[in-house]
Amino acid sequence: MRHKRLITVSTILVALTVVILVSLPLATRHYLQQWLRDQGASQATVEDIDFNPFTGRAAIIGLVADGTDGARLSVKTARVDVRWWPLTSRRIYIESVELTGVHADVEQDTDGFLKLGGLELPPIAGDDPEAEEIGRAHV
């Protein structure tokens, strides 16, 4: 009886792990496309996302975002290496970012705020308190 229960619990855990590993890139792709639309893209597509949770490596393939003003951001491949341990203290540490095949229309308004491919960029925390209040990136 105990042996049968152990096999059942192990099978459930393995199945749950597989479901999470398969659905994580799909959910991330959906979230990224929605985030791009929230930042001002009229249309946003991502072909594929590859993610390896064991190495902390992710790749975004075929990102295209069209701004409402006709500006465009496209990235053939974006690779990111992340360290997991800083997440325990609610920080993210990005070791490297590699971009290939990038095309971006960049605009700067008279106040110094950036639009990248028609997207209004959110502020970087601690960068500029005034920019944080407005909700945009500042150069």
- Domain positions in the chain are 2-104, 105-139
Q: Over 80: is that where the pLDDT of 69 sits?
A: no
- Residues 58 and 79: their CA atoms lie apart, in Å, by 6
What pLDDT, on the 0 to 100 scale, is given for residue 41? 87
Which of 10, 44, 8 has its CA nearest to residue 29?
A: 44
Q: What is the mean pLDDT of the chain?
A: 83
- Once rounded to an integer, what is the mean pLDDT over residues 50-77? 89
Q: Mean pLDDT check: name the lowest of 31-35, 46-50, 60-64, 109-113.
A: 109-113
- Residues 45 and 97: their CA atoms lie apart, in Å, by 20
- Residues 56 and 88: their CA atoms lie apart, in Å, by 14
Q: Is the pTM of this model over 0.85?
A: no
